Each structure stands twice: as C-alpha cells, then as structure tokens.
Structure 1
C-alpha cells in the first residue's frame, strides 16, 4: 500500500502530520484507558488487599473546585456500606 513505507513518506511529506495526529490520538487513548483501569475507585485489581476501594475516597474532594478545604471535618454524602 502506498503511504505506509518510509520511501513513500519521503515522496508525500504531507502525510507526516496525519501520522503524527493519529499516533498521538492512539497514545492518548491507551493512556486514558490505563489510567481508568488503575486509578478509578470502581475498579479493584486485588480483592484481598483492598476489599472496599470506594471507602478510600470517602473523605476526599470530588469537585473540581470547592471552598471547603478539609473534607475530613465535614459529613460525607456517600452512604456507608457495611456488611
């Protein structure tokens, strides 16, 4: 196929920005998927070490901006799940 090899990119340098944008988009998508898989409290990889991962975020700020500085002193709106 034309446009895939290095020789054809030398003949058509206008394709280089296309490859850069597609590559950056692919890297961004992979990064975001890995970030969601490792940082999201809904995902737990080790059930033995952290059986209730949502309780870790109980006293943390969820909003982008909030005038409240210390969430540990306020009542959390999250329900308490206990077995």
Structure 2
C-alpha cells in the first residue's frame, strides 16, 4: 500500500497547511497514549502485583483529597462495610 503523496516530505513542502494538522493528530495520539498509561499505572482499581498488594484500593481508605476539610480523616470511620 502506497502512502498518500501529500503526507510525504515533498508533499508537505507543497502543502505546508497540513503541518499543523499532522502536529495536532500526533499530539492527540501521544496524549491518549500517556493517559492510558496513567490509568494503567496509577488507578487504584488496577493491581499489577497480586501477591504484594492484592487490594490496592484499601490504601486510599483514610487519605484526604481536599485542601481544607472539616473532617478529621485520621480518626474518621466510614459507615461502609468491611469485606
């Protein structure tokens, strides 16, 4: 399969208006790849180490997510059931 001539180096010299289009498509692809990697590595729902940390969501049990909060997160017991 032959590439489209407008996306080659010679074609981009003839049509320089395609350069921002290719840059945005490339940046969007890189952003999507980085976001998927972040979801795979940083989400508490994903566990890559079953033996060392089988339930990673338990690490977030008593963490404070707001800059200022009236709840003492150190001693707060959430009414949810423990499994």
Instruction: Give the TM-score normalised by structure 1.
Output: 0.81
Shift of the 13–36 alpha-carbon distance from structure 1 to 2, 3 Å rule, reads same
In the alignment of these two chains, the number of paired residues is 80
Which structure has more relative contact order (CA 8 Å, sep 6+)? It is: 1
| Separation in structure 1 between the aligned mates of residue 76 and residue 11 of structure 2, nearest angstrom | 63
Among residues 7, 10, 23, which one is paired with 2:26 in the alignment? 23
- Over the aligned positions, Cα root-mean-square deviation in angstroms equals 2.1
| Structure 1 residues without counterparts, runs of 5 or longer | none
Residue 76 (structure 1) aligns with: 78
Structure 1 residue runs of 4+, over 4 Å off? none
